[in-house]
Chains A and B, each alone.
Chain A
Amino acid sequence: MAADNVPPLDEKAKRTRELLASFYSPDPSSAAASSPHAKPASLDSINSPAFDPDIYMGLLVQKSNLEGLLQKHVEMAAEIKNLDTDLQMLVYENYNKFISATDTIKRMKNNIVGMEANMGQLLAKITSVQSRSDIVNTSLFEKREHIEKLHRTRNLLRKVQFIYDLPTRLGKCIKTEAYADAVRFFTGAKPIFEAYGDSSFQDCKKASEEAMDLVIQNLQAKIYSDSEPIEARAEAVVLLKQLNFPVDSLKTNLLEKLEDYMSKFQNESKEVEASEPDSSGPSKASIGKISKTVRAYLIIFPDSEKRLIELAQDLFTRCYESIQQSIKKRMPSADLLAMLRNIAEDVTLMDNVLPEAALPAFSLEAVRSIIRQYISTAFSYLLLEVSEALTKIQPKPKEALEESLLQMALEGSKKAVIQGSMDLLLEFRQLLDGDLELLAKLRDLIIDWVQEGFQDFFQKLYGHFLLLSGRSNITNQDSSITDSIPVDKIQTGLVLVLAQLSVFIEQSAIPRITEEIAASFSGGGVRGYEHGPAFVPGEICRLFRSAGEKFLHLYINLKTQKISILLKKRFTTPNWIKHKEPREVHMFVDLLLQELEAVAVEVRQILPRGIIRRHRHSDSTGSTNSSRSNPMREDKLTRSNTQRARSQFLESHLAKLFEQKMEIFTKVEYTQESVLSTIVKLCLKSLQEFVRLQTFNRSGFQQIQLDIEFLKNPLKEFVDDEAAIDFLLKEVISASHERCLDPIPLEPPILDKLINAKLAKNRELSSNSHSR
Chain B
Amino acid sequence: MQGASTGIVYGGLKYQARCIADVKADPDHTSFLAGTLSLREENEVHLIRLLPSGTELVCEGLFYHPNEIWDLKSCPFDPRIFSTVFTSGETYGASIWKIPELYGQSNAPQLEQLVSLNEHSFKIKCVLWWPLGKHDKLISIDEGNLFLWSIDSSSKIAKVISKESVGMLHNLSGGAWDPHDRNAVAAICGSSLQFWDLRTMKKTNSIEHAQVRDVDYNPKKQHLVATAEDECGIRLWDLRMPRLPAKELPGHAHWTWAVRYNPEYDELILSAGTDSAVNLWLASTTGHDDSAAESLVDSPTRNIDPLLNSYNDYEDSIYGIAWSCREPSMFASLSYDGRVVVESAKPYIRTK
Residues of A at the B interface (CB closer than 8 Å) are 459, 462-463, 466, 472-479, 481, 539, 542-543, 546, 557, 560-561, 564, 572, 577, 639, 642, 645-646, 649-650, 653, 656-657, 661, 664-665, 682, 685-686, 689, 692, 695, 738-741
Tell whether, in the assembled complex, residue A685 and residue B41 are in contact, meaning their CB atoms are under 8 Å apart. Answer: no
Does chain A have a CB within 8 A of B254? yes
Tell whether, in the assembled complex, residue A477 and residue B292 are in contact, meaning their CB atoms are under 8 Å apart. Answer: yes
How far, in whole Å, are A726 and B295 apart by their CA atoms in the complex?
44
Cross-chain pairs A/B with CB under 8 angstroms, 20 sampled: A474-B248, A475-B296, A475-B297, A476-B296, A539-B299, A546-B300, A564-B230, A564-B231, A642-B42, A649-B14, A649-B15, A657-B315, A661-B315, A665-B254, A686-B254, A689-B274, A692-B336, A695-B89, A738-B16, A741-B89
- Ranked nearest first, the 7 interchain pairs of A and B with the lowest CB-CB distance are A665-B253, A475-B296, A476-B295, A477-B244, A561-B231, A463-B297, A685-B254
How far, in whole Å, are A738 and B40 apart by their CA atoms in the complex?
9
How far, in whole Å, are A479 and B39 apart by their CA atoms in the complex?
52
Does chain A have a CB within 8 A of B214? no
Tell whether, in the assembled complex, residue B41 and residue A645 are in contact, meaning their CB atoms are under 8 Å apart. Answer: yes
- By a CB distance below 8 angstroms, the chain B residues around A657 are 315
Tell whether, in the assembled complex, residue A739 and residue B89 are in contact, meaning their CB atoms are under 8 Å apart. Answer: no
Tell whether, in the assembled complex, residue A478 and residue B39 are in contact, meaning their CB atoms are under 8 Å apart. Answer: no
Does chain A have a CB within 8 A of B90? yes
- By a CB distance below 8 angstroms, the chain B residues around A682 are 254
Tell whether, in the assembled complex, residue B300 and residue A543 are in contact, meaning their CB atoms are under 8 Å apart. Answer: yes
Would you give the shortest CB distance from A22 to chain B, in whole angstroms? 100
- By a CB distance below 8 angstroms, the chain A residues around B14 are 646, 649-650
- By a CB distance below 8 angstroms, the chain B residues around A577 are 89-90
Does chain A have a CB within 8 A of B344? no
Would you give the shortest CB distance from B147 to chain A, in whole angstroms? 22
Tell whether, in the assembled complex, residue A689 and residue B255 are in contact, meaning their CB atoms are under 8 Å apart. Answer: yes
Does chain A have a CB within 8 A of B116? no
Tell whether, in the assembled complex, residue B39 and residue A462 are in contact, meaning their CB atoms are under 8 Å apart. Answer: no
How far, in whole Å, are A542 and B303 apart by their CA atoms in the complex?
13
Given A476-B292, A481-B244, does the pair A695, B87 have CB atoms closer than 8 Å?
Answer: yes
- By a CB distance below 8 angstroms, the chain A residues around B244 are 473-474, 477, 481
Does chain A have a CB within 8 A of B227? no
Does chain A have a CB within 8 A of B275? yes
How far, in whole Å, are A572 and B77 apart by their CA atoms in the complex?
36
How far, in whole Å, are A158 and B300 apart by their CA atoms in the complex?
102
Would you give the shortest CB distance from B91 to chain A, in whole angstroms? 10
Chain B 12-57 residues near chain A, CB threshold 8 A: 14-16, 39-42
How far, in whole Å, are A695 and B87 apart by their CA atoms in the complex?
9
Would you give the shortest CB distance from B300 to chain A, in whole angstroms? 5
Tell whether, in the assembled complex, residue A656 and residue B300 are in contact, meaning their CB atoms are under 8 Å apart. Answer: no
Given A474-B248, A478-B292, does the pair A738, B39 have CB atoms closer than 8 Å?
Answer: yes
- By a CB distance below 8 angstroms, the chain B residues around A738 are 16, 39
Does chain A have a CB within 8 A of B333? no
Would you give the shortest CB distance from B213 to chain A, in whole angstroms? 10
Does chain A have a CB within 8 A of B317? yes
Tell whether, in the assembled complex, residue B295 and residue A686 are in contact, meaning their CB atoms are under 8 Å apart. Answer: no
Contact with A along B168-180 (1 / 0, CB 8 A): 0001000000000
Tell whether, in the assembled complex, residue A462 and residue B297 are in contact, meaning their CB atoms are under 8 Å apart. Answer: yes
Would you give the shortest CB distance from B223 to chain A, in whole angstroms? 17
Would you give the shortest CB distance from B95 to chain A, in whole angstroms? 19
In the complex, the chain B residue whose C-beta lies closest to that of A558 is B231
Extra contacts besides A476-B292, A564-B231, A656-B316 (12): CB < 8 Å: A475-B295, A478-B292, A478-B293, A557-B231, A560-B231, A561-B231, A642-B41, A646-B14, A657-B315, A689-B254, A689-B274, A695-B39
Chain B 246-279 residues near chain A, CB threshold 8 A: 248, 253-255, 274-275
Tell whether, in the assembled complex, residue A639 and residue B297 are in contact, meaning their CB atoms are under 8 Å apart. Answer: no
Would you give the shortest CB distance from A551 to chain B, in whole angstroms? 14
- By a CB distance below 8 angstroms, the chain B residues around A474 are 244-245, 248, 296
- By a CB distance below 8 angstroms, the chain A residues around B253 are 665
In the complex, the chain A residue whose C-beta lies closest to that of B171 is A572
Would you give the shortest CB distance from B171 to chain A, in whole angstroms? 8
Would you give the shortest CB distance from B319 to chain A, in whole angstroms? 9
- By a CB distance below 8 angstroms, the chain A residues around B295 are 463, 475-476, 479
Tell whether, in the assembled complex, residue B41 and residue A459 are in contact, meaning their CB atoms are under 8 Å apart. Answer: no
- By a CB distance below 8 angstroms, the chain B residues around A478 are 292-293
Tell whether, in the assembled complex, residue B248 and residue A459 are in contact, meaning their CB atoms are under 8 Å apart. Answer: no
Would you give the shortest CB distance from B256 to chain A, in whole angstroms? 12
In the complex, the chain A residue whose C-beta lies closest to that of B291 is A475
- By a CB distance below 8 angstroms, the chain B residues around A477 are 244, 292
- By a CB distance below 8 angstroms, the chain B residues around A695 are 39, 87, 89
How far, in whole Å, are A462 and B296 apart by their CA atoms in the complex?
11
Does chain A have a CB within 8 A of B337? yes
Would you give the shortest CB distance from B43 to chain A, in whole angstroms? 12
Would you give the shortest CB distance from B83 to chain A, in whole angstroms? 20
Would you give the shortest CB distance from B189 to chain A, in whole angstroms? 14
How far, in whole Å, are A572 and B171 apart by their CA atoms in the complex?
10
Does chain A have a CB within 8 A of B298? yes
How far, in whole Å, are A53 and B14 apart by their CA atoms in the complex?
141
In the complex, the chain B residue whose C-beta lies closest to that of A562 is B231
- By a CB distance below 8 angstroms, the chain A residues around B89 are 577, 695, 741
How far, in whole Å, are A664 and B39 apart by their CA atoms in the complex?
27
Would you give the shortest CB distance from A648 to chain B, in whole angstroms? 10
- By a CB distance below 8 angstroms, the chain B residues around A645 are 40-41
Tell whether, in the assembled complex, residue B231 and residue A741 are in contact, meaning their CB atoms are under 8 Å apart. Answer: no
How far, in whole Å, are A740 and B232 apart by their CA atoms in the complex?
30
Would you give the shortest CB distance from A283 to chain B, in whole angstroms? 46
- By a CB distance below 8 angstroms, the chain A residues around B16 are 649, 738
- By a CB distance below 8 angstroms, the chain A residues around B90 are 577
Residue among B253, B316, B336 with the most chain A CB within 10 A? Answer: B253
